[in-house]
Amino acid sequence: MLTKKQIHEVLETIKEMYPEAECELHHSNAFELLIAVVLSAQCTDALVNKVTPGLFKKYKEPQDYLEVSQEELEQDIRSIGLYRNKAKNIKKLSASLLEQFEGEVPRSREELMSLAGVGRKTANVVASVAFKTPAIAVDTHVERVSKRLGICRWKDNVREVEETLMKKVPKEEWADTHHRLIFFGRYHCRARDPQCASCPLLHLCREGQKRMKRGEIQHA
Give me the active site residues, please. Answer: 121, 139
Distance CA 138, CA 159 (A): 8
**23 known member of a binding site:** no
> What number of other Cβ atoms are within 10 A of residue 45's Cβ?
17
DSSP 28: S
- For helices 120-131 and 158-168, give the axis angle rounded to 10 degrees: 40
CA distance 99 to 62: 11
Angle at 180 between CA 111 and CA 190, to 5 degrees: 110
152 is in an annotated binding site: no
Does the annotation list 199 as a binding residue? Answer: yes
List all residues 6 or more positions away from 48 whose beta carbon is below 8 Å from its beta carbon: 25, 36, 39, 40, 80
Going by the annotation, the residues of the binding site for [4Fe-4S] cluster are 189, 196, 199, 205
Going by the annotation, the residues of the binding site are 189, 196, 199, 205
